[in-house]
Amino acid sequence: MKKKILVTGGTGYIGSHTTVELINSGYEVIIVDDLSNSELSVLDGIEKITGIKPGFVKFDLCDRERLMQFFEDEKNITAIIHFAASKSVGESVQKPLKYYRNNLVSLINLIEGMQQHNVTRMVFSSSCTVYGQPDTLPVSENAPVKPAASPYGNTKQISEEMLQDVLSSDEILHCISLRYFNPIGAHPTGWIGEHPMGKPENLVPYVTQTAIGLRSHLRVFGIDYHTPDGSAIRDYLHVVDLAKAHVAAINRMLEGKQKDNYEVFNLGTGKGYSVLEIIHTFEEATGVKVKYVITDRRPGDVEKVWADTTKANRELGWYAKSSLAEALVSAWKWEQYYRKNYRKP
Q: Just list the catalytic residues.
A: 152
Using the contact rule CB under 6 A, the part of the chain among 91-99, 257-265, 296-304, 314-322 near ligand UD1 is 296-304
Among 61, 173, 218, 240, binds ligand UD1 (CB under 6 A): 218
Determine the Cα–Cα distance for residues 175 and 192; give it in Å rounded to an integer: 28
Does 277 bind ligand UD1 (CB under 6 A)? Our answer is no
- State which amino acid sits at residue 267: L
* Interface with ligand UD1, residue 208, by CB under 6 A: no
Cβ pair 195, 38 in contact under 8 A:
yes
**CB of residue 300 vs ligand UD1: minimum separation in angstroms?**
5
Asked if 157 is part of the footprint of ligand UD1 (rule: CB under 6 A), the reply reads no
Give me the least distance between CB of 327 and ligand UD1, in Å please. Answer: 13
Q: Does 112 sit near ligand UD1 (CB under 6 A)? A: no
Least separation, in Å, of the C-beta of 130 and ligand UD1?
Answer: 9
Position 203 contacts ligand UD1 (CB under 6 A): yes
Q: Which of residues 55-74 bind ligand UD1 (CB under 6 A)?
A: none
Residues 5, 246 contacting (CB under 8 angstroms): no
Phi-psi region of 241 (alpha: psi -120 to 50; beta: other; left: phi over 0): alpha
Within 242-271, the residues that bind ligand UD1 by CB under 6 A are none
Q: How far is the CB of 192 from ligand UD1 (least distance, A)?
A: 17
Q: Cβ 87 to ligand UD1, closest distance in Å? A: 6
Query: Please, which residues bridge with residue 267 across strands?
Result: 180
Indicate which single residue of 39, 141, 170, 201 sits in contact with ligand UD1 (rule: CB under 6 A): 201
127 or 266: CB nearest ligand UD1: 127
215: contact with ligand UD1 by CB under 6 A: no
**The binder of ligand UD1 chosen from 30, 80, 239, 275 (CB under 6 A):** 275
Rounded Cα distance, 224 and 294, in Å: 10
Is residue 240 within 8 A of residue 194, CB to CB? The reply is: no
345 CB-near residues (< 8 Å, 6+ apart): 212, 213, 214, 339
Question: Which residue lies nearer to ligand UD1 by CB, 120 or 155?
Answer: 155
Strand 77-82, strand 55-57: pairing: unpaired
Q: What one-letter code names the amino acid at 238?
A: H
Task: Determine which residue in the list 24, 140, 202, 251 makes contact with ligand UD1, applying CB under 6 A.
Answer: 202
Considering only 20, 163, 232, 276, the residue that binds ligand UD1 (CB under 6 A) is: 232
Asked whether position 327 contacts ligand UD1 by CB under 6 A, the answer is no
Nearer to ligand UD1, 1 or 293 (CB): 293
- The nearest distance, CB 213 to ligand UD1, in angstroms, is 16
Asked if 131 is part of the footprint of ligand UD1 (rule: CB under 6 A), the reply reads no
Q: Which residues bind ligand UD1 (CB under 6 A)?
A: 87, 89, 127, 129, 153, 182, 201-203, 206, 218-221, 232, 234, 275, 298, 300-301
